[in-house]
Chains A and B, each alone.
Chain A
Amino acid sequence: MEQLQFQVPSRAQSQRRDAVLVGVVGSGNCEVLLEATTADAMCVATIHTAAHGFADIWRRVIEDFAIRRNAGGLRVEINDVGATPAVVTLRLYQAIEAWESGDA
């Protein structure tokens, strides 16, 4: 397993709520946990991945997410089993849309 950590600036997320979990830890898939932090302008991401050597791609995926969505004040933690960037991006969007809609 490889562990990666990123801290990227992002517009503040206005919603405050309990943690959100989307996705499943299975082959080609990942789970994404979103939680509130106190650092309003930062998105903090921790990734545990079974696929080694993709740190640069992960960084770009997280950066794009932080640019496109209001992820400031959110902690993102991901357990990954070789999900493609497409799947990771989809999960990140699903997670933040669940967060913003107030769904469980």
Chain B
Amino acid sequence: MRKGYYEASARDRIRGVIDPGSWREFIPPSERITSPHLPLLDQPVAFDDGIVVGAGRLGGKDVLIAAQEGRFLGGAVGEVHGAKLVGLIERAVKTRPSAVVLLLDSGGVRLHEANAGLIAVSEIMRAILRARVQGVKFVGVIGGSCGCFGGMGLVARCCDVLLMSEEGRLGMSGPEVIETVRGVEEFDSRDRALVWRVTGGKHRYLIGEVDMLVDDDVAQFRAAIARALEAPAEFSLEGLEREHDMLARRWSRFADANDARDIWAGLGIPDVTRMALMSTEEFTRASENVRERP
């Protein structure tokens, strides 16, 4: 039976991607390290503060893994949640796993502890980048129901390799926020198709924001992560210059784009609608020669 990644819980995802019997969780739920701030606001807590962190093996290789639980407060980052992730990254600098795998599913900063959350996101970014400088590899994974937004959208793009399903969403400001501030004419957040055209996996893959497009299936994610563990990792001036060129090219070509359709057509895709309906495999093949990459 196919196990969907989009709907799976954080714990199910971890169970689905690591080698059986290899899992060890740090600060498990039984320790009840919960948010000290939510009770003051009379809000429910979760025993793991919405993130599972630990060590395991994937295809026989040692990895550290974190998984955000999108259904608890939208996977948003609070003080404990953020600190667990920072601690995991710091641990990697010392223990040198094959990679740190981040199963991201988050709307960004948890408003109930906004300042702590924002600072934590910046600490996560700094920790990842510092670890990358020291040679630790990061694999980001997006395909959950909350997508990956706000500061976590930046965290995702700080990884060496980023995997995403068509169903995943990646961006900075959520469509609802833009609609609230700028009005429905700017961004109709209830237009599902539009939301996915702007933030969804296929568009992100085509413009070079994501390295692999994965089917919404836990087993497929596992296989893709295993492949990502093999990918080379580098953090260099040359690499950043290549990324800069790609981003500058995107800006100069598509600054006037109003819809993903404009960009796809601009990239030389003949039948945008047909492309949008393709399966992951077909899509990956069909986009091989038009897809942007650094």
Interface of A toward B, CB cutoff 8 Å:
1, 18-19, 21, 24-26, 29, 31, 33, 35, 48-50, 77, 79-81, 104
* A64 vs B39: C-alpha distance when bound (angstroms): 30
Say which residue of A25, A33, A49 sits within 8 Å of B72 (CB atoms). Answer: A25
Interface centre among B28, B30, B44, B48 (most CB of A within 10 A): B44
Does A31 lie within 8 Å of B23, measured CB to CB? no
* A35 vs B30: C-alpha distance when bound (angstroms): 8
16 contacts between A and B (CB under 8 A): A1-B42, A19-B29, A21-B29, A21-B48, A24-B9, A25-B71, A25-B72, A29-B71, A31-B29, A31-B46, A48-B45, A50-B43, A50-B44, A77-B47, A104-B15, A104-B23
Chain A positions within 8 Å of B79 at CB level: none
Within 8 A of A (CB), among B50-93: 50, 69, 71-72
Interface centre among B11, B28, B71 (most CB of A within 10 A): B71
Does A25 lie within 8 Å of B29, measured CB to CB? no
Does A31 lie within 8 Å of B47, measured CB to CB? yes
What's the least CB distance linking B27 to chain A, in Å?
12
Does B45 lie within 8 Å of A21, measured CB to CB? no
What's the least CB distance linking A24 to chain B, in Å?
4
Chain A positions within 8 Å of B44 at CB level: 1, 25, 48-50, 79-81
What's the least CB distance linking B163 to chain A, in Å?
23
Given contacts A26-B71, A104-B15, contact A33 B46 (CB under 8 A): no
* A72 vs B69: C-alpha distance when bound (angstroms): 31
Given contacts A21-B47, A25-B45, contact A1 B72 (CB under 8 A): no
Question: How many residues belonging to B are interface residues under a CB distance threshold of 8 Å?
Answer: 19
Interface of B toward A, CB cutoff 8 Å:
9, 11, 15, 23, 28-30, 39, 42-48, 50, 69, 71-72
* A80 vs B48: C-alpha distance when bound (angstroms): 14
* A6 vs B172: C-alpha distance when bound (angstroms): 45
Chain A positions within 8 Å of B46 at CB level: 24-25, 31, 79
What's the least CB distance linking B121 to chain A, in Å?
21
Chain A positions within 8 Å of B71 at CB level: 24-26, 29
Chain A positions within 8 Å of B45 at CB level: 25, 48, 79
* A77 vs B28: C-alpha distance when bound (angstroms): 14
Does B9 lie within 8 Å of A19, measured CB to CB? no
What's the least CB distance linking A37 to chain B, in Å?
12
Chain A positions within 8 Å of B48 at CB level: 21
